[in-house]
Structure 1
């Protein structure tokens, strides 16, 4: 905690969408909020909204820069209590147009970018015997969805990474959580040309995330009805799942 007893939270991928909404909601909670992303202009605009929000530009794909930014945050605000590693991307990718280079870019940001932040965060949290690490995945990580092979694979990887870390470092005082949103209105989802069931506004998503960050559940997943529908699909035999998902998506 900081000297004035505020929680310190670090959020990556915070220049827009869910990340920015989480930052605003955390500031309303009275937390000291460090926000990181590549866009300096968007971070500066977000910082100007609230005295509790502090901008620290970062390219999460630069491994060393993650540690350096975290050092600056802790020098300015105090030890980080909560790290929300949220940077990520998505691209529509029909199978007939599968692009290995585009898939690699998705893997780099959604997995390697998170790993670059995990390294310095976990080192500090383990040394202190406390801390909370939340990784943003997606309900798309529950099972493979059409037109999203690379994205689903990357988010399934995030879920598995969070599970592995939680099993190992949970007993050492470090809480690990995974954030699995459904469809949330963001600049990325605005590009989707298909119906998005249970579409949420980023402010509603942020409310659920910040509440979850104060709880004990490993998974922060929403909206609940959509989550349970997809979890039920995960239990189905592959052949039945493929028939249902093709019908649902018009394939």
Structure 2
């Protein structure tokens, strides 16, 4: 949240006309909704994920959309995709990391192989992306990175035994990226959504307070970027409560989690 008497933490982007945006994880959910919203506003959008048919559906009827499918957990695939992009779009204005894997599970249900797969997509793939795109941005002296973490990374909550820690790591990573890159003219956005109706949250069998649509999430993200926010979290009626929980002493925090969250 930006205070009115302080400058924004990032350089605001309010006009997307002619901007080139690369969305990682654009085949569904928030990534797909962001792609549609940015295309409507005149951006040139590169859509990446593993599912080619889903990407083609998102890109349908949009001349400004390019489909570039690849496996985000494969470093060699990142390099190949980057080489293709550099030939067509040497200047990427913003890379948005949306790819994610989620399985609701308590700690005693965690499978080590499934946990490794989740961490490869949620966390390791972001490092592959940074290694790929940052050198070009640093050489150019401009660009931006948006990382979709989650309010699940604020505090340790049941049912997010692997997903939550992976998102907590992304929060930490985004903070240090901002410290490293802001003076180098590269924007860094940390996006912490609450519950959003997607293929991932459809797995949940519990009540999801303040549930939003992917389109609402996309609007909130673009509004945050337009304000120059560093952290973009939404909906506030839900996320502010979790921020308060995060600040409480552990004795109070755990008591509230036991009372209102643990089943």
Instruction: State the TM bucket, normalised to the shorter chain.
Output: over 0.9
Return the alpha-carbon distance in structure 2 between the equivalents of residues 53 and 139 of structure 1: 30
Q: 1:114 aligns with which of 126, 135, 153?
A: 126
Give deviations 1:163-221, integer Å, cap 9, x for gaps.
11110111011111111111000011111000000000000101111222333211111
Structure 2, gaps ≥5 residues long: 1-16
Is the counterpart of residue 10 in structure 1 residue 22 in structure 2? yes
61, 78, 89: which one aligns with 2:73: 61
SS of equivalent to 2:227 = coil
State how far apart, in whole Å, the 1-side matches of 2:82 and 2:226 are: 22
Where 2:226 maps in the other structure, the secondary structure is coil
TM-score if structure 2 supplies the norm length? 0.90
Please report the RMSD computed on the Cα atoms of aligned residues, expressed in angstroms: 1.3
Contact (CA 8 Å) 2:158, 2:262: kept in 1 or not?
no
Q: TM-score, structure 1 length as denominator?
A: 0.95
Question: Which aligned pairs between 1:63-142 and structure 2 lie closer than 5 A?
Answer: 63-142=75-154
Q: CA deviation at 1:154?
A: 0.2
Please give the alpha-carbon distance, in whole angstroms, between the structure 1 residues aligned to 2:132 and 2:96: 13
**Count of equivalent residues:** 247
Q: Does 1:206 align with 2:224?
A: no
Aligned-partner Cα distance in 1 for 2:84–2:224: 27
Alpha-carbon deviation of 1:90? 0.6
